[in-house]
């Protein structure tokens, strides 16, 4: 009976969500859900072009349509939500950014891991259901999303402690998504939320360090990136900078200079 129910749910979801025949259709959907936010569309354009090239090389073994479907699904589910940055950027910039970090920095090519990254906050922060995610994207994606989803009945501080305890026991997929998510969130601290005190920012860096310490061997490039950002951004927290970058595009290079742009892929 459960198999029949999931099959019917898949048919219903397929009727509700348009088929993605090309990158432009997905871009239009994303634009409509993000108020044509230039940075979100810029990140999507960059990633989707690279994904399209890779998919053309891999053929049917790399289902780009399923990844594009995940982007629309997440954009629709996160509609109306915003990040905590001063510009209150539409929230969808975050899951796309996490997938981008896995792709560009971590050089992760697993379609299921990238999809899980795009969907990683849907169970926790939206009305998405486990049944929907499994029917549309498969059991492996659902398992990963569940691994990185916080328990809403537990306080924020307790959830943080549980994350540290749970992280070493996650699947590699879950560890990759968790690590990339932390890299993204730490990068946002280069421009902290207006309401955050220096103590709160410093505590977040400490939490990031603890998470990094329990995930050795997950992905060398992502681990190095997170460690570098913690070491360099932490000491410069709340220090005025001569330039202002859009959210997720400001980081500190090896010489301590503030730089705007996508994270470099150098290891």
Q: How far is CA 163 from CA 22, 150, 160, 207, in A?
A: 38, 8, 5, 10
Out of 25, 85, 125, 202, pick the active-site residue: 125
Alpha carbon distance 223, 180 (integer Å): 9
Alpha carbon distance 199, 219 (integer Å): 29
Known catalytic residue at 63: no
Known catalytic residue at 131: no
Out of 124, 131, 202, 223, pick the active-site residue: 124
Asked if 74 and 119 touch (Cβ cutoff 8 Å), the reply is yes
Q: Tell me the DSSP string of 194-237.
A: TT--HHHHHHHHHHHHHHHHT-TTS-HHHHHHHHHHHHHHHTTT
Asked if 211 and 129 touch (Cβ cutoff 8 Å), the reply is no
Which residues are known catalytic residues? Answer: 124-125
């Amino acid at each position: 009976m459960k198999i029949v129910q999931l099959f019917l749910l898949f048919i219903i979801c397929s009727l509700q969500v348009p088929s993605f025949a090309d990158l432009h259709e997905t871009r239009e959907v994303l634009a409509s859900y993000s108020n044509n936010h230039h940075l979100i569309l810029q990140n999507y354009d960059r990633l989707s072009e690279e994904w399209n090239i890779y998919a053309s090389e891999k053929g049917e073994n790399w289902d780009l349509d399923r990844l594009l479907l995940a982007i629309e699904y997440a954009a629709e589910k996160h509609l109306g939500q915003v990040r905590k940055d001063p510009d209150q950027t539409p929230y969808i910039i975050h899951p796309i950014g996490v997938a981008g970090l896995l792709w560009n920095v971590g050089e992760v090519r697993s379609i299921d891991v990238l999809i899980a990254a795009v969907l990683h906050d849907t169970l926790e922060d939206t009305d998405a259901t486990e049944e929907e995610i499994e029917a549309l994207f498969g059991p492996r994606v659902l398992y990963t999303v569940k691994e990185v989803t916080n328990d809403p009945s537990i306080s924020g501080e307790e959830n943080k402690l549980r994350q540290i305890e749970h992280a070493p026991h996650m699947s590699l997929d879950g560890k990759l998504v968790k690590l990339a998510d932390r890299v993204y969130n730490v990068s946002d601290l280069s421009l902290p939320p207006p309401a955050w005190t220096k103590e709160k920012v410093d505590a977040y860096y400490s939490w990031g360090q603890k998470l990094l310490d329990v995930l050795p061997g997950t992905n060398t490039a992502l681990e190095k990136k997170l460690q570098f950002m913690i070491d360099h951004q932490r000491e410069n927290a709340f220090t005025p900078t001569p330039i202002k970058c859009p959210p997720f595009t400001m980081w500190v290079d090896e010489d301590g200079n503030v730089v705007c742009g996508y994270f470099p892929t150098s290891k």
